Structure 1
Amino acid sequence: MTYDVVALVRGAPDVRALVDSMVDAGPELKVASAGEGAVVRLTDDSGRSLLAIEAAQKVEVPDEVVRLLGARAAADMPDPCWWVEARAPGAGDDAADLAHRFADSLCGRLGGTVWPQRAAATPAPSAPAAGEADGGRG
């Protein structure tokens, strides 16, 4: 079983955006390539694959996003749009958190949306709303 996340981003991801997002996902992780460069893997020190990131694909037919991810994801996707898929082995919280840290970071850098959205129990990091910066302390 795997945990899959799709980042639908506004711009074609450049090397810098991808590398910075991988570091945000796990600064202690190592990078390895696979699939003749079409896949980048993040691994632990023992070489165990923790996240596979596929090369970005430009979305040429937006109806495919509707078909694959549903109308809500398609409604939120930018135009133009690139599809970046990240796959973590396992379906537990650690796999989901790692995949979302990468996808959330990439969307934060390039604009876009992540599918699936994080569950309410594990919200994406965000800036505090006005008046919340001090944690409600006066």
Structure 2
Amino acid sequence: NAGVVFDIDFADLFSNNIFLGIVTGLIVGKFLGIFGITFLLLKLKLVKLPKKMTVSHLLGISVLSGIGFTMCLFITTLAYDNPQHVTQAKIAIFAASIIAGISGYILLNRKPKNETGSISAS
């Protein structure tokens, strides 16, 4: 449905910064934005986490935010005219989404670090 045709030479996938930029932006950028700002607000005591939610949960959810399809694919069609660049971008979106999904799943399903089941924000 996303219209990705894998007729690209995978060596060409890294011929420019499109693939790396999108993967980094979705995984690192979204994580830093969501986790960083929320954790800062927690430290400044401007917000509180919902009951039964821990910073560990916030960490996992922030990593999951790297999953991006609809808007990323839409913006890709607006940003690039070159079909090879569009394909590179779409493959990067899928790769980042898979990495973020697996990483978020692992983080959310790991055992708590202390007996109370939470990691302290203080």
Higher normalized strand content (fraction of residues): 1
Q: TM-score, normalised by structure 1?
A: 0.25
